[in-house]
Structure 1
Amino acid sequence: MRKTKHSLRTLAILGAGFTLLPQVAMAQEVAEEGDMVDNADVDDGAPVIVVTAQGREQVLADVPVAISAVSSETLENSGTSDIRELNQVAPSLLVSSTGNEANGSARIRGIGTVGDNPGLESSVAVFVDGVYRSRSGNALSELGPLDRIEILRGPQGTLGGRNASAGLISIYTAEPEFNFGGYADFTYGNFDAIRVEGGVNAPLGETVAARIDGVFFQRDGFYNDVVNDTDVNNRDRYLVRAQALFEPSEDISFRLVGDYSKKDEACCAATFVQPEVAPLARVSPGLDPFARPVPGSPALTSTSNPITNILLGLGQNPAALNQSTYNRDIYVTPGRSYAGETEDYGISGELNWSLGNATLTSITAYREYSNTQGSDTDYTQVDILYREPGNNAGAREFGTFTQELRLNGTAFNDRLDWLIGGYYANEELQVRDNLRFGDQYGTFVSCRIALAINPALANPSEQDCLGAFGRGALQAANGGAGAFGAATPVILQGITNLSNVNDLGGTGDVYNQTSENFAFFTHNIFHITDTLDLTLGLRYTSETKDFDATFSNDNVICPQNRALLSGLLATPLAGLAGGLIALSCQGNSTAELDGVSIADTRDENEFTGTAVLSWKPVDDLMVYGSYSRGYKAGGFNLDRSALGNPVTFNVANIDPASLQFDEETVDAFEIGLKYSERLWGFGLTAFRQEFSNFQLNTFNGSVFLVQNINGCDDDLGGLDRDASPATGACDPDSVGPGVISQGVEFETSLSPTRNVNMTMGITYADTSYEDNLVGSDSGAPLDPALRLLPGDNLSNAPEWVATSSFTWTPDIGNSGMKGLVFINGRMTGDYNTGSDLLYGKEQDGYIVVNGRIGLTNIADRFSIEGWVQNMFDEDYTQVAFNTPFIAPQQTYSAFLAEPRTYGVTVRAEF
């Protein structure tokens, strides 16, 4: 999808959505009682929403920052139990997950980080009660009762704890209160979903209050594993959170929070992408996979493509290739499993101490997070690649200590609102992996070689895919000289060796990374006049990352074929010999690495900050303009495939620096206005964000690439779009930003009566790569796997998104009982879901609608509600990707979004 094209279907969807849904859920959301400074009804006075986006409590309408604040009432009505459901209430936000829920990624204004590699930090940082979660995927779990969520759009380079280059999600859980009470929820839904939530709050004297909340959620999976008679993408999780609030005086408040959550679930399955989803996902045999496909050529999963017949010959059930993309029957290799386990727990303490003209805030926290996930990693019934569930199955473990100190106050007769602070974080990250070639890998890749030599010779019933007939034909070719002349015996031996790469590979690679980060910052608001403010913020960040890795591998075939075939790499047979070596050593899986250790370190020092000029010409209207600079740390690609080309890989010359990628920086400019009065309000923001060293993580069908993306001011003449990794360099003096995100955000709310609230928001974001791209700030050429990027939109970055909601809570009789009618929707334009932007990964525009209806406050303590998510059962994909080890011109797979779910919730309070 080129950025200049928009589908008529998308425009129709948007129009239909506005006809169906009055408004959208956005920043001027009416908060629930606990969020209001003035608790009066709308008819008597405007409710006021308080946020802490700038490190101190401020009225939302007075904050010159692009921010969405979502109340607990809206979160409950929209069914938000983890951050994915925020998509329905914030049009500039998109949260998705891929092969593992730990890989969840959040994007704001089209900018985010693909989460498959834990070495990359999140462009959108997530905080819970002021405590940083090491990766945004860590928040894809039950959150329990919430007070509010604040979504800050654009770089957060001054406050907010950890730096974030694209935005920040701050989640605030419900605090203890000094009165006794409790609640219990029970939900039953389709897919045999059972969710139980409950909690108790109690004062423990006049100065101490405590509460404990728990959530249990169990549900069948959305996918049916036909082969192994089980389901995948199920839910089996729980959360316990205990809190204590200590207020010994009016000046001191201390909140202690401890939580533990666990998931024991199978995740995440994928289906084959069919032409019904991506009509352009068609190719002709031999067509360059990076060229635009020819209409009318065979479908990706058609038997006209030779690789499909190989899969069928190796036991792939034809149903998997013929069924609809959205048929959730999957055909997994017998005995393979997606079973996984996640633990997440921690403790934090927040102190707020009023010292007269200043307030001291301290937030201290320690958290641990661990995740393992088995997988049938090739997503076919053929046993090509897998992770055995257990302690080393794609494991990632974080241990994170953070300390934030802030001191803020006023001076010069309140003309200066000042804030100074410091932040320290120490993160211990360990990644372990046992990725192995399956029992049929050797035959499958031998068939790929046979297809390249002569498709008529490919016979998947033979281990080497040739058998006696195929070998005899190759030996007898050229009048008995052999198909490859004197090298024929060597090539045939190489194929024999390759066919024996079965159940070999990683036996426990271990990557360790220690990150130490400290920062000092100041954020000051100068009240130049009663209506004109100047905000200046500055932050200095120092980051050190120490890395080491030890590899464990039993693939002895790789060094055998390297020794056998390397002599042919300088001959006309270099392509065939290189292919045999590459498939024998795919991803640098080789016994040559067994027991080898490497280590490296990197240091970064960055200044970031912000400057904002805001003016209130009248009490209800504010206009502002701002500049901010953001930063996201560089790091290490925690994947051995990045150590070098498997064909020329030399263990003796390993350079761990090849795993490094540089820090990402952004310069952002905004102008905006906010209007807020008794019945309605709106906000309008125009923005431009320029990213340098943009960190891109993509899977090319064989390995994960992590590359910094920059632009070149000079015309590269299309050399960044060719198949050569050596062409398309740029003079370092001409290197500039490689990604630009620019657009407009509009948000509004209307509350004509105390029982009706309507909201609406629209985001137009042109988030695109520059026309001439290079792969580093030194001007190195772009990797050829990324040659579709120049001039196109980023993946998962639709240009048009709208969200809307309508809430009606009429009084029922005179008993205090109320009705509830709630509906919201998200309308999304076309976008490409693949980070390499291959054409078969495009997603048409769609609309998702949620609804809730019920009775609340029955007898002042009960409620019953019926709800539905994805009301019209809209089918769409989260991410499409190259099916591993099957050439990209042959087939794609996709992680699907959730289907329609519905159920009933009963709630009691005391």
Structure 2
Amino acid sequence: MNDTHRGNLALRLACAIACATAGTLSQAQDASGGQSTQLEEIIVTAQKREQNLQKVPVAVTALSSDTLEKFRVTGINDISGLAPNFQIITQGIQSIPIVSIRGIASGVSDSAVDPKIGLYLDGVYIGRSVGAIFDIADIERVEVLRGPQGTLFGRNATGGAISLVTAAPSGEFHLRQDVSAGNFDAWRTRTTLDLPAWGNLALKFTYMHDEQEGTMRNLIGGGHIDLRQRDPRLGVQKYADKLGGREVDAYMVAARWQANDTFTVDYRYDYTDSETVGFPNQQIGIIDGSALAGMMGLIHSLQPAYGGITNMSPKRLGRIASATSVQPMTVEGHNLTLSWDLAEGINLKSISAYRKLDQDPNIFDLASTGGWKFSDAQLQALLLGNFNAIFDPANAPGPNDSFFSLLTARSMEQRQFSQELQFTMTRERYDLVAGLFYFDEKSPELDTLGIMEPVTNGVVVPAWYDSIFGSGTTELEARNESRAVYAQATWHATERLDLTAGIRYTQDDRETRLVRIAAATGSTLQPGTYKDDFSKTNYTLIADYWVNPDVMVYAKLATGYVSGGIMSGIPYQPEELESWEAGIKSQFFDNRLRVNAAAFFMDYTDLQVQTFVDGSQRFDNAGEAEVKGLELEVDAVPMDGLTLGGSFGWTDYEFKKYILPPPDGDIAHEAHPAWTPKRSLRLSAQYDFPAFAWGGNAFMRLDGRYRSRSEVGVRFTHDPDIDRVTYSKAHWIVDARAGVAEIPLGKTALSISAWAKNLLNEDDVIVFGATVINQMVSYAPERTYGIDLTIRM
């Protein structure tokens, strides 16, 4: 990681304050200090048109800019747990998130596999899980839609969708400077400049820098591995000095041209340049009974003699040896939205978008054996059964020799273009939303997998035994096209009863071009171009009834699907879901109390199951499941200044069929969903003290998020020593924040607060699951704390 941004904290804070308060100001931004007296009204676009949250018959949690600030959301991963039955888990490789909604998890990194949770930025679909958790400089609102969204949002949203909305320019001068400093040398700054309108044109600029040193020292940091004999493009990779760190620069430009009263042009450009280092993982054991167990056990037993570092412990280690590099990635996007008001209540909108992602070559130590030592000569002797040669001092590993059991090196690109036309009509007796959608994606990637691989004097040298273990390089390019047409109409049958019906037809064309493939002996897969196409029709039926002006009940039937694809040259079919949901939305006491609840049942068919056949990864439609659950959200202002909030989620996920290749067969009786706690709970409380006589007001806030035990693999290993840490135990994550807001400083307003995340320093386990060799555990970040400073003008 780059050290040029680090320096004296006091000097940096002083500089930020000086820069923000310099110059002549036209007007200070209105202060938001004082005590809250009711809940804020939130506008959402969950049905492709602006509506009050309480009037939408959909299970959706909306987080306004004010709410995001209260929870101190600085990245998309911070919204985890803020909605019921909703989790975002950052894996060891930070750029590949796991998103789970109602038991449906998404997070496979392969270009040939689509995510099961839709992510949208200003109405634009983000096509890949890799890079999906990128930092956006200026998020105004987040909407978490739970349950299948197949009609309006399309494919790959069976679990739900996350919609991010960025802030539009206001046409008035505003300047905001945010500065934050914390432990682990964390430093974050964000500058937002909203310019006065120039004629009909308004502009807004935002820049953000966010960095944090790694949380764990890498015992082999500064070392390197030369992969050029595997592929020259992979180069020489340096091991990171610390693990779990990040350095991010993000920019956003927003422009709005109001051509006339009926035509608006919005353009947004976002750019994120990040360097992250994977969260450290450590070994907890070798998989007994695996084909390589005996071999791994022997190599492990020799490590003390050679000075190897095993990283093996059932408890969290303070430092480890990991052959992991910095993972550089850039994400860039353009969005052009044209909006025409054709007549009163009739609008036509065009959303054209181009996005690109580039991930430079990097390595990740999947099995956490980068500190082991074993030579090429010893491995050859072991495979040939010459055990005397294994212990011959002449064959012992040299000082720059090492060994890893499972290491991945990869680089990838992704380019996507999407075009959507939306037509909306609002009439006294009905509302209509209809549209056309087109999506085109190209994603080349280069993946090198090293299994049981000696490193001779820092160099990986291809050897005859690579084909035995499946080591080598795979190069492919995925090309995906999707076309869809949709319509959804709501009939206001009476003053209280609305009936909604929607339908969407989608055509997917998939193509995977395998340039070269490395797989174990026995694989029949050959380089070539593999194609397939799929089509699917989804529908939605909703009835909602207003019991009184403050209480609405609804029932919903919806379908969704995840697109089929091609993995290792073999096509697999779409995954389908049918969902029934009933809910209530209510608010009472002059909007001081809001209660929303939902119950759901989902029937999953043709579940896409990941398997390994002849050393090649495959997806088969070999599963069925039923999911049922409950969700409750409550927000209240019981007294002036005091805001309480909470949510509860319960999910019961049961596999009905889960077929793996022989000899396993159907393991539905022992399979369990990954990343799906049966119960989740959030409790929040904030008290805003009365404003001081000189202006400004103090506040205190406490947030707690609870997750019951959740498994992190589909099945147990049946090894008690390993199985006891193959799950994330039930735990609370407690965050706290306190400060003084809107302190008047002339024509500026200053806010300052202290915060802590994971206040109790809870060990939250993230487990990758058993490889064919060993079991690894990764822990979530430790307690972090710091100070935030904000100046508005």
Q: TM-score range by the shorter chain?
A: 0.7 to 0.9
1:795–1:386 distance in 2 versus 1, CA, 3 Å: closer
- Return the match for 1:768 from 654, 663, 666: 654
Correspondence 1:793 to 2:679: no
Q: Partner amino acid for 1:216?
A: H
- Return the match for 2:176 from 150, 162, 183: 183
1:61 is matched with 54
SS of the residue aligned with 2:343?
coil
Q: Partner amino acid for 2:359?
A: N
- Return the match for 1:897 from 766, 780, 788: 780
Correspondence 1:852 to 2:730: no
Q: Partner amino acid for 1:440?
A: P
User: For the Cα contact (< 8 Å) 1:768–1:791, is it kept in 2?
Assistant: no
1:108–1:501 distance in 2 versus 1, CA, 3 Å: closer
In the alignment of these two chains, the number of paired residues is 695
In the aligned structure 1, how far is the partner of 2:307 from the partner of 2:679? 39
1:803–1:331 distance in 2 versus 1, CA, 3 Å: same
1:329 is matched with 319
Per-residue CA distance 1:41-93 (angstroms, 9 max, x = gap): 964x7642211100111111111111101121221222222222111412311
Q: Partner amino acid for 1:51?
A: V
Q: Partner amino acid for 2:780?
A: A
- Return the match for 2:750 from 846, 849, 862: 862
1:693 is matched with 606
1:40–1:270 distance in 2 versus 1, CA, 3 Å: closer
Q: Partner amino acid for 2:563?
A: A
CA deviation after TM superposition for structure 1 residue 338, in Å: 2.2
1:515 is matched with 480
After TM superposition, list the pairs within 5 Å mapping 1:665-676 onto structure 2. 665-676=576-587
In the aligned structure 1, how far is the partner of 2:615 from the partner of 2:758? 34
In the aligned structure 1, how far is the partner of 2:114 from the partner of 2:470? 31
1:605–1:703 distance in 2 versus 1, CA, 3 Å: closer
1:880 is matched with 768
In the aligned structure 1, how far is the partner of 2:690 from the partner of 2:578? 50
SS of the residue aligned with 1:827?
strand
CA deviation after TM superposition for structure 1 residue 667, in Å: 0.3
Per-residue CA distance 1:391-446 (angstroms, 9 max, x = gap): xx3222110101111111134xx10111211111001111212323565389xxxx
Q: Which runs of 5+ in 2 are unaligned?
A: 1-28, 223-240, 373-402, 457-462
2:264 is matched with 253
SS of the residue aligned with 1:310?
helix
Per-residue CA distance 1:690-738 (angstroms, 9 max, x = gap): 111122336899764533233xxxxxxxxxxxxxxxxxxxxxxxxxxx1
User: For the Cα contact (< 8 Å) 1:81–1:141, is it kept in 2?
Assistant: no
In the aligned structure 1, how far is the partner of 2:295 from the partner of 2:574? 43
1:861–1:602 distance in 2 versus 1, CA, 3 Å: same
In the aligned structure 2, how far is the partner of 1:850 from the partner of 1:68? 20
1:410–1:908 distance in 2 versus 1, CA, 3 Å: closer
1:94–1:588 distance in 2 versus 1, CA, 3 Å: farther
SS of the residue aligned with 2:472?
coil
1:149 is matched with 142
1:311 is matched with 300
CA deviation after TM superposition for structure 1 residue 626, in Å: 0.9
2:237 is matched with none
Structure 1 stretch 316-325 or stretch 52-61: which is displaced more?
316-325
1:137–1:826 distance in 2 versus 1, CA, 3 Å: farther
SS of the residue aligned with 2:759?
coil
Q: Partner amino acid for 2:633?
A: E
SS of the residue aligned with 1:84?
helix
User: For the Cα contact (< 8 Å) 2:136–2:270, is it kept in 1?
Assistant: no
**Structure 1 vs Structure 2 CA RMSD:** 3.1
SS of the residue aligned with 1:311?
helix
Identity of matched residues, %: 24
In the aligned structure 1, how far is the partner of 2:55 from the partner of 2:210? 39
Correspondence 1:821 to 2:700: yes
In the aligned structure 2, how far is the partner of 1:742 from the partner of 1:503? 41
CA deviation after TM superposition for structure 1 residue 146, in Å: 1.9
Between Structure 1 and Structure 2, the one with more helix by share is 1
1:479 is matched with none
Structure 1 stretch 250-259 or stretch 121-130: which is displaced more?
250-259
1:75 is matched with 68
- Return the match for 2:104 from 106, 111, 123: 111
In the aligned structure 1, how far is the partner of 2:716 from the partner of 2:46? 35
In the aligned structure 1, how far is the partner of 2:571 from the partner of 2:96? 20
In the aligned structure 1, how far is the partner of 2:423 from the partner of 2:263? 14
Q: Partner amino acid for 1:517?
A: S
1:599 is matched with 529
Correspondence 1:240 to 2:251: yes
1:367–1:154 distance in 2 versus 1, CA, 3 Å: same
In the aligned structure 1, how far is the partner of 2:313 from the partner of 2:475? 39
CA deviation after TM superposition for structure 1 residue 597, in Å: 2.5
1:440–1:398 distance in 2 versus 1, CA, 3 Å: same
Per-residue CA distance 1:460-496 (angstroms, 9 max, x = gap): xxxxxxxxxxxxxxxxxxxxxxxxxxxxxxxxxxxxx
Correspondence 1:535 to 2:500: yes
1:348–1:815 distance in 2 versus 1, CA, 3 Å: same
User: For the Cα contact (< 8 Å) 1:190–1:902, is it kept in 2?
Assistant: yes
2:12 is matched with none
CA deviation after TM superposition for structure 1 residue 321, in Å: 5.0
CA deviation after TM superposition for structure 1 residue 827, in Å: 0.5
Per-residue CA distance 1:781-836 (angstroms, 9 max, x = gap): 65656754436431111111111211222233133301121221110111211134
1:681 is matched with 594
- Return the match for 1:709 from 599, 615, 622: 622
2:382 is matched with none
After TM superposition, list the pairs within 5 Å mapping 1:418-497 onto structure 2. 418-437=432-451, 439-440=453-454
In the aligned structure 1, how far is the partner of 2:302 from the partner of 2:626? 47
Per-residue CA distance 1:287-328 (angstroms, 9 max, x = gap): x99xxxxxxxxxx99xxx884442131568676455453214
In the aligned structure 1, how far is the partner of 2:561 from the partner of 2:730? 32
User: For the Cα contact (< 8 Å) 1:511–1:547, is it kept in 2?
Assistant: yes
CA deviation after TM superposition for structure 1 residue 266, in Å: 2.4
CA deviation after TM superposition for structure 1 residue 223, in Å: 2.5
Per-residue CA distance 1:247-284 (angstroms, 9 max, x = gap): 1223222210011111123224311237xxxxxxx99x
- Return the match for 2:91 from 78, 95, 98: 98
1:458 is matched with none
1:519–1:326 distance in 2 versus 1, CA, 3 Å: same
Correspondence 1:192 to 2:126: no
CA deviation after TM superposition for structure 1 residue 226, in Å: 1.0
In the aligned structure 2, how far is the partner of 1:55 from the partner of 1:756? 33
1:786–1:795 distance in 2 versus 1, CA, 3 Å: farther
TM-score for both structures, normalised by structure 2: 0.82
1:774–1:816 distance in 2 versus 1, CA, 3 Å: same
In the aligned structure 2, how far is the partner of 1:364 from the partner of 1:204? 24
CA deviation after TM superposition for structure 1 residue 500, in Å: 8.3
Tell me which structure has the larger Cα radius of gyration: 1
Between Structure 1 and Structure 2, the one with more strand by share is 2
SS of the residue aligned with 2:713?
coil
After TM superposition, list the pairs within 5 Å mapping 1:595-674 onto structure 2. 597-637=527-567, 642=568, 656=569, 659-674=570-585
Correspondence 1:406 to 2:422: yes
CA deviation after TM superposition for structure 1 residue 155, in Å: 0.3
TM-score for both structures, normalised by structure 1: 0.72
2:352 is matched with 364
User: For the Cα contact (< 8 Å) 1:794–1:835, is it kept in 2?
Assistant: yes
1:223–1:707 distance in 2 versus 1, CA, 3 Å: farther
